[in-house]
């Protein structure tokens, strides 16, 4: 009788002694996908709902200091998490048994994954635009050359893009998480 393990045979037995094969590569890819996606989604929501409004309510000098210290690092981490999430997402589609890229847009699962994929790519693009607004705002505050109207325009754009990004990543997570049930 095979006791199963996740190191040797990569199989386990459940209560009625049925053997379940464990695809270690799929499990590891899924864990990486979930961790990176959680970071991406959580950060998008945090920035839009909590940080950006709090920073906007401070003085221009404090806003400038915060943007100088955090904006480049935030951009690097968020972009990295988004790329890892999307790459592992494509890997999951090809690694998942009885699923493939050709299923995208077909049936319930394929449609939900495709909608999530489109929302993810759109969020990635919107996040890039938000990064551009952040850079303009940071430079405008640093130089002191931007008018109050220009700074207000950058802040409004950044706020709008932040909320749009948060909505898009929520749509992506919601559709992909529910795909297996439709």
How far is C-alpha 73 from the chain's CA centre?
16
Q: 């992909």: which residue's tokens?
A: 176
Q: Which helix (H) or strand (E) holds 57?
A: none
pTM for the structure as a whole:
0.80
Which are the contacts of 21, defined by CB distance < 8 A and separation ≥ 6? 10, 11
Summarize pLDDT for 72-95 with one digit per residue, the tens.
888 889 999 999 999 999 999 888
Q: What is the mean pLDDT of residues 60-74?
A: 85
């Amino acid at each position: 009788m095979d006791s199963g393990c996740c190191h040797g045979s990569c199989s386990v037995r459940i209560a009625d002694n049925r053997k379940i094969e464990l695809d270690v590569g799929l499990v590891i890819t899924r864990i990486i996908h979930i961790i990176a996606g959680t970071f991406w989604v959580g950060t998008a929501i945090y920035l839009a709902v909590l940080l950006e409004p709090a920073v906007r309510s401070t003085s221009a000098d404090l806003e400038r200091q915060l943007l100088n210290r955090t904006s480049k690092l935030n951009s690097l981490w968020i972009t990295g998490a988004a790329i890892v999430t999307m790459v592992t997402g494509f890997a999951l589609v090809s690694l998942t048994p009885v699923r493939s890229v050709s299923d995208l847009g077909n049936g319930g699962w394929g449609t939900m994954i495709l909608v999530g994929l489109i929302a993810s790519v759109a969020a990635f693009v919107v996040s890039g635009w938000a990064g551009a607004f952040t850079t303009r705002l940071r430079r405008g505050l640093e130089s002191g050359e931007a008018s109050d109207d220009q700074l207000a325009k950058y802040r409004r754009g950044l706020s709008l893009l932040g909320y749009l990004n948060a909505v898009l990543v929520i749509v992506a997570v919601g559709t992909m998480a529910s795909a297996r049930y439709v």
